């Protein structure tokens, strides 16, 4: 207990001050461990050996430094104890104080002459010790000029302090060491042929550190160690998906092989140059590998990291294979030998599934645990790769039941999607989100999610299958409901990114109010840094470019892009890029920055909202709070327009355009134009005879009869303009490419050339 009076009494009767107990500890060792200064002083004054050794050759100074007892250390140093005394494996008190982060003790030891370059039996210096744990302050202290430290000293594994910092992911420590030791530290390899960049990719602790090291010299991204492995190999072997993506974005070559010793004269340039020459000389023939040559893809596949293997299988390095056909994303290596899932990856997934299900059962409230036998099956509604959706009855309420199949498809487990959707839905409560009733979790063959039944079906079905006529106010209300639902998801205490927002997943009630549904691809934003956020979830036709290209980690702004396409689809009543297949549409938006055409009939205010939402730079897209404000203004103007006088509405004007122009007093160009003048100008530009005003019953109100009358009038007057602005079949055939697609955007033919100059360029 550190009772100094009792100790002094015992010392008067005891002649064996250095008697040892368990572990060969003396009384002085114990007092230094406990930090009892007075007891330590009493023992030392009576002649106790201040350099006595325990079972591991630790002196009392070692023990005091290890446990951070500053006053005891100061007293022992004042007694003249050897400050550089070594333990059984060569560790000095300075090593122990540095690894434990005791800054003041390190200062005291240095003032007493502790040597900063001393190494233990593994060759570690105090620098190695402090950076391993990330003690930045001690690192700066040890690197002060008066101590003449050397950051290039390596241990028996040839690890420099920079290697240690990179393995553990200490960004600031690594930057400081590079500043002190110079860029030559980047070229030092350890016993396993790993440079500092390899080490950072192996540890995978800090992606910012990897990015910083790459910024020092771009050539290091393809640096091959003594066995030929690159930083990409290291990241693939250890399953660090985000780092793999970062390396690819910096030009990492997926065809470099390990176990292929490079030329020692210029070992971090020549293998890469030699491979490029080989690829270009053989064009796109598959690269034949020997048994000892392994690409990064092989390393990822063998370790069961299927998400990384999938990325590498479909990755094509931009600019390296210029003569590749468009859409060919495969590199020179034949990837058909790597079916996904891999054997180890499948086992890993199965184990993770069991863990996820058990965890979900434990955290889901009891009232949300349902029995599938208690739900009456009324009729099938939909089906997909995940299973089936049917209409049922539970507790006298009509519900929708989504059944999952417990299988795996392309490495993505339906059980994983099921667990994620349940965990997300169970945390939501909003009138703009489909209501979660419960889940069936007990039998894997009967996994199901039960939600409220939304009778109106999906927006996709309403627009493109049923082709129902929807008035403009209702369209705006649907858009506002969806935006509010997404705003709710993005502003939760634990925000959620939907990742699959499209017209299939927007459900309509009988009153045409919208609810967001289908959260199988959703993620909590808190997990963005833990998971691969560059997969391609959801439907390609509504996919944001940064998601499709898989070249960067995406954010909640991907949902904003998808919403912009849904809004355009809702107002235009057409599929985005309906003339293209989904993958081609996504590629056009990603690589050509194509966007659906902004109709001449669209008012400027609507066009601005759309252009902001699908901006090519995610950070430039608005948040949903801003979108809601703009849509509510447009909806209010539309309502006011319907209630007001619209006898002068010109037949060439879209109902959206006319209402906003009339209510705001502004034309789309920013000036106030009387309806009669606008009608005259529009007639002159289009070459059409001005039409007589429609009867009151034929104004734009969403009725089919009004639409038909409008079309008949326009068809009788606009044959000439139609022919001049639409290509003939022969012209279209002349534009066919080798893949059977018409070159250029077909939507441009729907807008007369005379109006093109009035459109604002897409962002």
Residues 303, 134, 554, CA angle at the centre, nearest 5°?
Answer: 50
Say if residue 289 is exposed, middle or buried (CB neighbours under 10 Å; 0-12, 13-18, 19+): middle
Would you give the distance in Å from CA 459 to the centre of its chain?
Answer: 28
Q: Classify the phi-psi angles of 416: left when phi > 0, otherwise alpha if psi is within -120 to 50, otherwise beta.
A: alpha
Neighbours of 602 (CB within 10 A): 22
C-alpha dihedral sign at 235, 236, 240, 241: positive
Active site residue 500: yes
Q: Please check whether residue 520 is in contact with residue 500, taking contact to mean a CB–CB distance below 8 angstroms.
A: yes
Render the burial of 604-639: b for 16+ CB within 10 Å, e for the rest: bbbbebbbbbbbbebeebbebebbbebbeebbebbb
Using CA atoms, how far apart are residues 644 and 153, in angstroms rounded to an integer? 83
Q: Please check whether residue 327 is in contact with residue 580, taking contact to mean a CB–CB distance below 8 angstroms.
A: no
Using CA atoms, how far apart are residues 171 and 212, in angstroms rounded to an integer? 9
Phi, psi at 456, each rounded to 5°: -80, -10
Q: Please check whether residue 592 is in contact with residue 542, taking contact to mean a CB–CB distance below 8 angstroms.
A: no
Residues 753, 756, 759, CA angle at the centre, nearest 5°?
Answer: 165
Spatial CB neighbours of 1, under 8 Å, sequence gap ≥ 6: none
Q: Please check whether residue 345 is in contact with residue 307, taking contact to mean a CB–CB distance below 8 angstroms.
A: no
Strand (E) or helix (H) holding 408:
strand 408-409
Strand (E) or helix (H) holding 403:
strand 397-404
Q: Please check whether residue 186 is in contact with residue 197, taking contact to mean a CB–CB distance below 8 angstroms.
A: yes
Using CA atoms, how far apart are residues 188 and 192, in angstroms rounded to an integer? 11
Closest Cα partner for 150 from 123, 111, 121?
123
Using CA atoms, how far apart are residues 249 and 218, in angstroms rounded to an integer? 11
Using CA atoms, how far apart are residues 231 and 220, in angstroms rounded to an integer? 8
Using CA atoms, how far apart are residues 422 and 427, in angstroms rounded to an integer? 9
Annotated catalytic residue within 500, 518, 647, 666: 500
Residue whose token pair is 């990755």: 315
Residues 221, 224, 230, CA angle at the centre, nearest 5°?
Answer: 55
Say if residue 690 is exposed, middle or buried (CB neighbours under 10 Å; 0-12, 13-18, 19+): middle
Spatial CB neighbours of 306, under 8 Å, sequence gap ≥ 6: 340, 341, 342, 345, 349, 411
Query: What number of helices (H) and strands (E) belong to the chain?
Result: 33, 11
Residues classed as catalytic: 500
């Amino acid at each position: 207990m550190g009772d100094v009076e009792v100790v002094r009494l015992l010392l008067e009767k005891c002649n064996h001050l250095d008697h040892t107990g368990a572990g060969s500890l003396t009384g002085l060792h114990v007092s230094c461990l406990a930090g009892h200064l007075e007891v330590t002083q009493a023992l030392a004054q009576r002649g106790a050996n201040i350099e006595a050794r325990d079972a591991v050759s630790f002196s009392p100074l070692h023990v005091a430094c290890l446990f951070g007892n500053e006053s005891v250390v100061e007293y022992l140093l004042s007694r003249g104890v050897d400050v550089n005394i070594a333990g059984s494996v060569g560790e000095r008190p300075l090593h122990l104080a540095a690894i434990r982060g005791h800054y003041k003790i390190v200062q005291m030891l240095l003032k007493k002459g502790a040597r900063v370059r001393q190494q233990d039996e593994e060759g570690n210096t105090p620098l190695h010790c402090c950076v391993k744990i990330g003690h930045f302050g001690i690192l700066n202290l040890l690197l002060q000029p008066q101590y003449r430290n050397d950051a290039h000293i390596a241990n028996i594994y040839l690890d420099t302090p920079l290697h240690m910092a990179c393995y553990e992911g200490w960004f600031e420590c690594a930057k400081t060491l590079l500043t002190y030791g110079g860029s030559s530290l980047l070229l030092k390899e350890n016993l396993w042929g790993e440079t500092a960049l390899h080490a950072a990719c192996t540890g995978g602790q800090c992606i910012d550190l990897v990015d910083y090291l790459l910024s020092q010299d771009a050539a290091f991204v393809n640096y091959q160690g003594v066995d030929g492995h690159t930083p990409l190999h290291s990241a693939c072997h250890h399953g660090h998906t985000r780092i793999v993506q970062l390396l690819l974005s910096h030009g990492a070559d997926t065809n470099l092989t390990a176990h292929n010793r490079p030329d020692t004269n210029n070992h971090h340039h020549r293998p890469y140059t030699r491979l490029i020459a080989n690829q270009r000389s053989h064009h796109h023939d598959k690269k034949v590998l020997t048994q000892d040559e392994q690409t990064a893809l092989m390393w990822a596949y063998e370790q069961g990291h299927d998400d990384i293997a999938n990325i590498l299988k479909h990755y094509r390095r931009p600019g390296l294979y210029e003569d590749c056909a468009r859409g060919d994303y495969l590199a020179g290596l034949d990837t058909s030998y790597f079916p996904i899932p891999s054997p180890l990856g499948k086992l890993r997934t199965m184990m993770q599934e069991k863990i996820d299900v058990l965890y979900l059962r434990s955290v889901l409230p009891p009232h949300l645990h349902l029995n599938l036998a208690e739900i009456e099956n009324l009729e099938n509604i939909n089906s997909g790769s995940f299973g089936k959706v049917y209409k049922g009855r539970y507790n006298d309420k009509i519900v929708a039941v989504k059944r999952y199949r417990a299988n795996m498809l392309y490495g993505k487990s339906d059980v994983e999607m099921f667990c994620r959707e349940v965990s997300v839905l169970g945390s939501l409560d909003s009138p703009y989100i489909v209501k979660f009733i419960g889940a069936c979790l007990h039998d894997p063959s009967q996994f199901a999610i039960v939600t409220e039944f939304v009778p109106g079906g999906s927006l996709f079905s309403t627009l493109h299958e049923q082709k129902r006529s929807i008035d403009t106010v209702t369209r705006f209300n649907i858009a506002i409901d969806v935006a509010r639902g997404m705003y709710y998801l993005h502003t939760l205490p634990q925000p959620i990114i939907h990742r699959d927002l499209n017209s299939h997943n927007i459900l309509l009630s009988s009153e045409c109010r919208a609810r967001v549904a289908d959260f199988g691809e959703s993620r909590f934003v808190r997990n963005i840094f833990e998971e691969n956020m560059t997969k391609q979830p959801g439907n390609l036709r509504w996919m944001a470019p940064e998601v499709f290209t898989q070249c960067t980690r995406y954010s909640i702004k991907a949902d904003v892009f998808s919403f912009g396409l849904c809004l355009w689809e809702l107002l235009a009543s057409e599929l985005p890029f309906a003339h293209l297949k989904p993958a081609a549409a996504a590629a056009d938006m990603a690589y050509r920055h194509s966007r659906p055409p902004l109709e001449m009939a669209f008012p400027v205010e609507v066009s601005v909202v759309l252009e902001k939402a699908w901006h090519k730079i995610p950070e430039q897209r608005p948040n949903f709070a801003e979108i809601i404000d703009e849509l509510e203004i447009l909806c209010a103007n539309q309502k006011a327009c319907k209630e007001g006088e619209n006898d002068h509405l010109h037949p060439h004007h879209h109902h959206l355009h006319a209402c906003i122009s009339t209510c705001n007093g502004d034309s789309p160009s920013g000036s106030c134009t009387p309806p009669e003048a606008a009608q005259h100008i529009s007639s002159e530009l289009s070459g059409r005879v001005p039409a007589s005003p429609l009867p009151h019953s034929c104004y734009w109100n969403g009725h089919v009869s009004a639409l038909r009358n409008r079309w008949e009038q326009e068809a009788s007057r606009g044959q000439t303009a139609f022919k001049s602005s639409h290509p003939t079949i022969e012209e279209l055939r002349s534009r066919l490419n080798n893949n059977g697609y018409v070159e250029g955007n077909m939507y441009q033919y729907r807008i007369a050339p005379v109006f093109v100059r009035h459109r604002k360029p897409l962002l």
